[in-house]
Amino acid sequence: MKKALLLGILAALVVAFDASAQQLPRARMTSIFPPGGQQGASVDVTIAGGDLDGSKQLFFSHKSITAAPKKDDKGKVIANQYTITIAKNVPVGIYDVQVGGGQFGISNVRAFAVGDLPEGKSTAGASQDKAMELKLGTTINGQASSRNYSYFKVTLKKGQRILVECQAADIDSKMAPVLILKGANELELERNRFGKPLDFTAPADGDYYPAVHDFTYGGGAEHVYRLTVSQRPYIDFIVPPVGKPGSNGKYTVYGRNLPGGQDAGMALGGKPLQKKDVTISLP
């Protein structure tokens, strides 16, 4: 009888402890902006979330990405602001970041992107006359404007083929990007509602206007994106798609803007593909 009573008391204590533990606050990070940076560069970021009291450290899944709290002119730490330094040897990709060192422990994981192109922050307006001018080969970090497009401007020569790419889901964004591209006369020339890259070849010299918005026209700190406009090579697929370990084989790469690429005699999504034969040594 006493044993059963003791077991009952212990079970009640365990349940009570578990319930109280579930009520304890825990640091939460809901966004980091900008959500990425360039290899070999530093970037100032702001984080947002809840129960971040006293947090003063960012932890990354790559040891060569480091961060230090930002300070004001008097040397006082500015809450939730950091300077991130990305070493040149950090490969292009997506890495984990967490915030910690505060009263409520370490936070959940968010994504932080590392790229190899020059970067900037969006100042894009909601109309073509307020578009942000871009140089080809640039990545822009932005936040979707609620119920509005964000317009950019690029100047192209006839026959120039560009790709407009937008990262969102990969960087833990709530944004579902819709991409469009218009001419100077505001005529829509390209559109993709599913966040896929826009492939555009300029029919004439002039200014062209890529734009982005959220599919449901949401916006704000949790609707971040990374927009890249470039002429860089883009690989769609490779044949054969597999190889034997340790082999030195020949493959055919299919894509767009391939250096030395030839017409592949096929199209994908209505856009002509190029092909290039390459030799790949597999480890």
Q: Which domain holds residue 58?
A: 28-115
Please report whether residue 277 resides in a domain. yes
| pLDDT attached to residue 8 | 59
133 and 192 within one domain: yes
Please report whether residue 12 resides in a domain. no
Please report whether residue 21 resides in a domain. no
| pLDDT attached to residue 250 | 96
Q: Give φ, ψ of 269 to 5 degrees.
A: 65, 30
- Domain ends where: 94, 115, 136? 115
**Which CATH number fits the domain that encloses residue 193?**
2.60.120.380
215 and 183 within one domain: yes
Region label for 151, one of left (φ > 0), alpha (ψ between -120 and 50) or beta (otherwise): beta
Whether 198 and 229 have beta carbons less than 8 Å apart is answered as no
- pTM of this prediction? 0.87
203 and 159 within one domain: yes
**Which CATH number fits the domain that encloses residue 94?**
2.60.40.10
- Split at pLDDT 50, 70, 90, the class of 6 is low
123 and 219 within one domain: yes
Q: At residue 78, does pLDDT exceed 60?
A: yes
Please report whether residue 94 resides in a domain. yes
| pLDDT attached to residue 68 | 96
| pLDDT attached to residue 7 | 57
226 and 125 within one domain: yes
132 and 109 within one domain: no
| pLDDT attached to residue 195 | 84
Please report whether residue 8 resides in a domain. no
Domains held by the chain: number:
3
Q: Give φ, ψ of 265 to 5 degrees.
A: 70, 20
Please report whether residue 99 resides in a domain. yes
| pLDDT attached to residue 20 | 47
Per-residue pLDDT reduced to its tens digit, 184-227: 999 999 999 988 999 999 999 999 999 999 999 999 999 999 99
- Domain ends where: 49, 83, 115? 115
Please report whether residue 23 resides in a domain. no
Please report whether residue 13 resides in a domain. no
126 and 222 within one domain: yes
Mapped onto helix, strand or coil, the DSSP state of residue 212 is strand
219 and 157 within one domain: yes
243 and 220 within one domain: no
Residue closest to 97 by CA, chosen among 24, 169, 168, 34? 34
225 and 137 within one domain: yes
220 and 127 within one domain: yes
131 and 215 within one domain: yes
